[in-house]
């Protein structure tokens, strides 16, 4: 192909590198992101098993606020013949509840990322609060933790 110009190869930043938004140049900033995922399937009280999506969102918002995390959005759905899922989008990531009333169980997913601070203590605080609110007990033995960084 005569007369065709070839662009130089694009060099991508290494994983975990963020680019500054400086108008004059692109300077890579080295940032390591830590991600914390706490999950559990818990037995629920009768009131939680039959709670509406509105009630579950209120409970979840209260627990998130008390744990020091920041909710920025939400989504809820009710399934037929039964079941409810609610999700709060957090500034730090998200938290979800999926209730199976026929089993008297709830699946809880808490996911937070560290960017400017370590958010693991807040996620653990949220897990403790949700355990008490959903089960009426303080037993966190059913929780699993996955930590990632990149």
Annotation marks residue 98 as catalytic: yes
Active-site choice (2, 113, 141, 144): 113
**For 84-88, which contacts have Cβ atoms below 8 Å and span 24 or more sequence positions?**
84/51, 84/52, 84/53, 84/56, 85/53, 86/53, 86/56, 86/57, 86/60, 88/57, 88/60, 88/61, 88/64
The H or E element spanning position 108 is strand 105-114
Annotation marks residue 113 as catalytic: yes
Active-site choice (98, 111, 116, 141): 98
Active-site choice (25, 93, 94, 107): 93
Query: Where in the sequence numbering do the catalytic residues fall?
Result: 93, 98, 113
């Amino acid at each position: 192909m005569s007369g065709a110009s070839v662009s130089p190869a694009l060099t991508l930043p290494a994983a975990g590198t963020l680019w500054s938004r400086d108008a004059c140049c692109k300077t890579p900033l080295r940032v390591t992101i830590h991600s914390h995922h706490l999950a559990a399937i818990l037995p629920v009280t009768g009131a939680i098993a039959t709670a509406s999506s509105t009630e579950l969102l209120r409970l979840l918002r209260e627990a998130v606020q008390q744990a020091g995390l920041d909710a920025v959005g939400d989504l809820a759905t009710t399934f037929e013949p039964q079941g409810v899922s609610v999700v709060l989008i957090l500034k730090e990531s998200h938290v979800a509840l999926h209730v199976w009333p026929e089993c008297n169980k709830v699946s809880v997913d808490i996911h937070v990322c560290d960017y400017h601070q370590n958010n693991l203590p807040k996620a653990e605080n949220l897990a403790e609060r949700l355990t008490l609110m959903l089960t009426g007990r303080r037993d966190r033995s059913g929780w699993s933790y996955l930590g990632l960084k990149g």
